[in-house]
Amino acid sequence: MQERSAIRRLAGKTALVTGSTRGLGRTIAEWLAREGAAIVVSGRQADDVQRVVAAIRQLGVEAFGVPADLSLVSEAHRLAEETLALVGQLDILVNNAGMSIRGNFWDVTDADWEYQVNVNFRSPFILAQHAARHMIERGIRGRIVNISTVGAHLVHKDAAVYDAAKAAVEMMTRNMAFELAPYGISVNCVAPGAIMERPGVEEDRQAWERYARNNIPFGRVGRAEDIAAAVLFFCLPETEFTTGQVLVVDGAHTTYLKEE
C-alpha cells in the first residue's frame, strides 16, 4: 500500500472518482486522497458510498458521496450536477466505473448493449462534458483520466460490446485532449491488463498465478495499486504537458505472442 506522501502534491484539489466503492476505483480514490485531494465517492449503492466516504475521511481529507447508476443517462447528468453543487470546484475527474456482460455478440440484446455502452462510454462522455465546462468557466487547469482495458487492444472472449465501448473511450480521450489543451486541461487514459479483483480468495489467486505464468511476461497479474499509480501520474502537477495518451499497464501482456 502506498505510504502517505510527505508533500501532499494534490492538496487543495478535488477529485470525482466513479465506481469508487470497491476494486480499482476505491484504490484510486485512496491514492489521490493520500496526496491531499478531497474525494467525491460514487457508486450504485448509497450504503457502500457512505462507508467509503467515512474511510476516505480517515485519511485526513474531506470526502463527499453521491450515489448514481451510470447505466442511466439521467443519472450521469445528476451525478455531475450534484457533485459540482457540493464541491464548488472540481479539479480531477476519473471515469473508472465500468462493467461487462459476457456472451456471444449475436446473442446481445438491445437492453444489454445499451446498459454496457451507457456505463462504459456514454456516461464518461457526459461527465467529461460537465467537468470540461466547469473547468473552462473557472480557468481550472484540470485533469480528466479515463479507464479503458487491454481488451481494446487484444479483445476479450465474449466481450464485443465492452471492448468496443472501451476502444471508443480511448478515441474519446484523444479528441477531448485536442479540444481541451488550449485551456490547460489534460485528458489521458489508463488501460489495465489482467487485474486480480479478489486477492484474498485462494482459488482466485491460484487461477491468476497459472494465467500469469502462461501469458504475462512480467510473471504476475496486475494489482489495483498498479493502476492507481498510473492514474496518479496523470494527475500530478508535473505531468500537465502529457495529454491525449493511453497508458497500457499490463506487465507486457500485449507484447506477447504465445508460441504453441
Tally the C-alpha atoms within 13 A of residue 114's C-alpha that lie toward its C-beta.
5
Residue linked to cell 483520466: 145
- What angle do helix axes 123-138 and 73-87 make, rounded to 10 degrees? 30
Amino acid at 145: V
d(CA 148, CA 55): 26
Spatial separation of the C-alpha atoms in residues 80 and 82, rounded to whole Å: 6
168 and 238 in contact (C-beta within 8 Å)? Answer: no
Which of 162, 183, 211, 256 is an active site residue? 162
106 in Cβ contact with 149 (< 8 Å): no
Q: Output the CA–CA distances (angstroms, integers) from residue 164 to 55, 83, 119, in the order listed.
A: 34, 29, 13
Q: Return all residues near 194 (Cβ < 8 A) that are at least 6 apart.
A: 150, 208, 211, 212, 215, 216, 221, 222, 250, 251, 253
CA atoms within 13 A on the CB side of 77: 3
Q: Which three cell numbers stand for residue 94?
A: 476519473
Residue 211 catalytic? no
Instruction: Give me the amino acid identity at 151.
Output: G
C-alpha cell at 66: 453521491
Q: Where in the sequence numbering do the catalytic residues fall?
A: 162
